Structure 1
Amino acid sequence: MSRSGSSDAQPGRGDDPLDTAVWRLRSRGCWNDAAALLAPHAAADPAAALKRTALLTEQCVFTAKGWREAEDALRAAEALALSDEERGAAACERGQLAYASTLFGVRDRADEARAALGRAAALLAPGSPVRPLLDFRRGLIAQHLAQNPTGAQAAFQRAHAGAAAHGDQLLRSFTWRHLAAMAEQNGDLPEARRGFSESLRIREELGFLVGIAPALAALAEVRPEPEASRLRAEAGRLVRLLGGVPSWLAGQLGAASDTPNDERPT
């Protein structure tokens, strides 16, 4: 996994058996198990502590649960961070956790999210591999908290280009997805179909199983029948296979959920 702890150029395809095992668990939504593998290393290694934090924060985004565990892991990672790069990456994770807490209505931490991402921007070098992730998360805040679509699109485009430059395929699947959602909102259905299709393709190629159902459901919104129904049915099958994850998508497909259907955090 990258130092951002959120995405990798080619997740799970390196030579490190630990990284491979963590990716396999993460990609199937087994975040607690993946975090447990990292726990012995996270006690003293800033990079491992940050990876563990990112896993537990991602679990919050997909399940709307586990907030205290993610916060505890984040504080531990912040305590270990020494360099500007490490402190910047930790601030980026704090921004994401605060954003997710606000988005899911757990607690309004919008000001904390903005401040943390601003701190990350000040600490990270211009060429840092964490920069594209930071741009992406600033786009999320602009889109969902600030209601600033122009700022969101610019941030997503920077993140998209940065992810390509750093070979971060998983992040690129997220930027494709959010740029496509903005194209859909603007009525540009061909571009929306292109973006959602690319996001789905990348997730399938990487084996990011837990992220495939959201990609299928998003693509269904811009495809005609009967393909749209087929895509939604496949998304529902995957959500059931994963025990109702993502929780907000389970709500779209008929299960209980407190997350608005138009929010697409994954």
Structure 2
Amino acid sequence: MSQYIQRSRPSDTTVGHVLREWRERRRLSQMNLALDAGISTRHLSFVESGRSSPSRDLLTRLAETLAMPLRAQNRLMLSAGYAPIHADHDFDAAEMAHVRTTVEAVLEAQMPFPALAVDSRWTLVRANQATMDLLTGINVEMLSPPLNVLRLSLHPQGLASRIVNFAAWRHHLLDRLQVQMTSSGDSVLVDLHKELASYPSPPPQKIEEERSHPLVAVPLELRVPDSDVVLRFISTTTMFSTATSVTLSELALECFYPADADTRAALLQQEIKGAP
């Protein structure tokens, strides 16, 4: 059985198939999962084989034990004939108005430093002006929606030629994507990883050379077009850990901070120039 799943209609699979899929992804035996969830191994076996119909409460308990993402929990419920338990609205829907206001406030507060919001597949949802300024001169086709942030970063017509420590940054992004796709089982991320890994890459020894820096994290080093100025950033990722909405649970805020005094000064100076 494939390790990865399609985000197909939940009715296409049985509840037993979905449970077994996630149990195997978490590398748990039926006995271990049953013990963790406080049910008998026999009962779990019957549910997976289709000989027993699980209650909504039991599925909720199993989903929590398996640490299933909210989207996957909805899929589990639908596969058993129950209504989804988590709302799933488009980010621009009226129901998400308060969330949009919060996200946009966070991005704006990050100025004059870059910040952006992406969904679980790294599609750009929102970005502040500092982020957009860094994309000046990029091939317009690369910036057409839906804009995938990882593709933009590593594509030869994207930011790749501007990233000074491209080998180390590429290695960092592919590693991060590998962890995410293994955890989520999303086949779209698998295809994205294959695509990004197929782009031209520097020799392996280049990675170690670029990682020998004094910072405690891999920086993003961007050369400003038509100049010798290099902006160096370290980044943080913020997730909404208490989200009960699928859309919000899959949203990530990526905030970039100056990794040295020169970068801070350059961005602050740019803000002064742009002030009315």
Provide TM-score, normalisation by structure 2.
Answer: 0.29
Q: Which has the higher contact order (CA 8 A, sep 6+)?
A: 2
Q: Which has the larger radius of gyration?
A: 2
**Larger fraction in strand:** 2
Q: TM-score by structure 1 length?
A: 0.29
